[in-house]
C-alpha cells in the first residue's frame, strides 16, 4: 500500500478510532492502530507474531484489530462496497438463463512469493506457493460490484474473509 493511500485511510477512520490519553497510559496512535489491523488482515501471522512486530501484547492486538474492523464496517463499507438492488440482480441473471440467482462465486489460486520463514504455509495441493482467492460477483462485469475474499487453508473460510 502506498503511503498516501494509508494516510487517506487513516483520515477516513480517524473520527471512529480517535482515542485520548489517560492518566494510566497514552493512547495508541491512530496510524499504528490501522497499521496493526492491516498487517494482521493481510498476513496469516498469529496475534503473538503481530504483537512482536509492533511491540504490543497479543490481547491488545486483538482489541485493536476488532476496533479497526468495526470502524471500517461502520465508516467505509457503505462508501466503498455498494451492492445493487437484489431484484435487478436476479432479473439480470434471469436474462442470462439463471433464474432466481442473486450472485455468482468463483475461486482461484494466486501464485505468490512466500515469505522464507513461513513458506510451508503457502504451499497448495500442486506443490506451488500461492494463496486461494474467492470472488463474489453481481450480474455482469460492467456493474463494478465485486467483493474479494482471501482464504487461508488452515481455517474455515468464513473466519478469514475481508473486503
Residue pLDDT, tens place only, 5-50? 899 999 999 999 989 989 998 999 999 999 999 999 888 888 999 9
Q: Which domain holds residue 103?
A: 86-159
Do 41 and 21 lie in a common domain? yes
Return the exposure string of 41-72: e unless at least 16 CB atoms fall within 10 Å of the residue's CB, then b.
beebbebebbbeebebeeebbeebbebbeebb
Sign of the torsion formed by the C-alpha atoms of 88, 92, 95 and 99: negative
Return the exposure string of 9-18: e unless at least 16 CB atoms fall within 10 Å of the residue's CB, then b.
bbebbeeebe
Do 99 and 69 lie in a common domain? no
Do 53 and 122 lie in a common domain? no
Do 109 and 71 lie in a common domain? no
Do 93 and 29 lie in a common domain? no
Do 67 and 126 lie in a common domain? no
Do 74 and 90 lie in a common domain? no
Task: Single out the residue in 80, 99, 128 at which a domain terminates.
Answer: 80
Task: Single out the residue in 26, 50, 80 at which a domain terminates.
Answer: 80
Q: How do residues 78-132 score in pLDDT, each as one tens digit?
A: 776 666 777 887 888 788 887 887 777 777 777 888 878 878 877 877 888 887 7
Whether this prediction's pTM lies above 0.75 is answered by no
Number of compact structural domains in the chain: 2
Do 8 and 75 lie in a common domain? yes
Do 38 and 73 lie in a common domain? yes
3-state secondary structure of 106: strand
Do 93 and 109 lie in a common domain? yes
H, E, C per residue of 35-88: HHHHHHHHCCCCHHHHHHHHCCCHHHHHHHHHHHHHHHHHHHHHHHCCCCCHHH
Task: Single out the residue in 65, 80, 95 at which a domain terminates.
Answer: 80
Do 100 and 74 lie in a common domain? no
Do 113 and 143 lie in a common domain? yes
Q: Do β-strands 104-111 and 130-137 pair in parallel, antiparallel, or remain unpaired?
A: antiparallel
Q: In this structure, are residues 91 and 102 in contact, taking their beta carbons and an 8 Å threshold?
A: no
Amino acid at each position: 500500500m502506498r503511503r498516501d493511500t494509508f494516510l487517506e485511510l487513516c483520515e477516513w477512520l480517524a473520527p471512529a478510532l480517535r482515542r485520548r490519553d489517560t492518566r494510566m497510559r497514552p493512547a495508541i496512535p491512530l496510524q499504528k492502530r490501522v497499521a496493526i489491523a492491516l498487517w494482521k488482515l493481510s498476513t496469516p501471522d498469529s496475534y503473538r507474531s503481530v504483537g512482536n512486530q509492533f511491540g504490543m501484547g497479543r490481547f491488545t492486538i486483538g482489541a485493536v484489530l476488532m476496533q479497526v474492523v468495526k470502524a471500517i464496517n461502520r465508516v467505509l463499507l457503505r462508501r466503498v462496497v455498494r451492492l445493487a438492488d437484489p431484484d435487478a440482480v436476479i432479473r439480470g441473471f434471469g436474462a442470462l438463463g439463471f433464474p432466481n440467482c442473486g450472485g455468482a462465486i468463483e475461486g482461484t489460486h494466486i501464485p505468490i512469493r512466500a515469505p522464507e520463514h513461513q513458506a510451508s504455509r503457502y504451499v497448495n495441493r500442486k506443490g506451488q506457493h500461492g494463496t486461494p482467492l474467492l470472488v463474489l460477483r453481481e450480474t455482469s462485469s460492467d456493474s463494478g460490484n465485486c467483493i474479494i475474499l482471501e482464504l487461508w487453508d488452515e481455517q474455515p473460510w468464513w473466519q478469514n474473509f475481508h473486503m
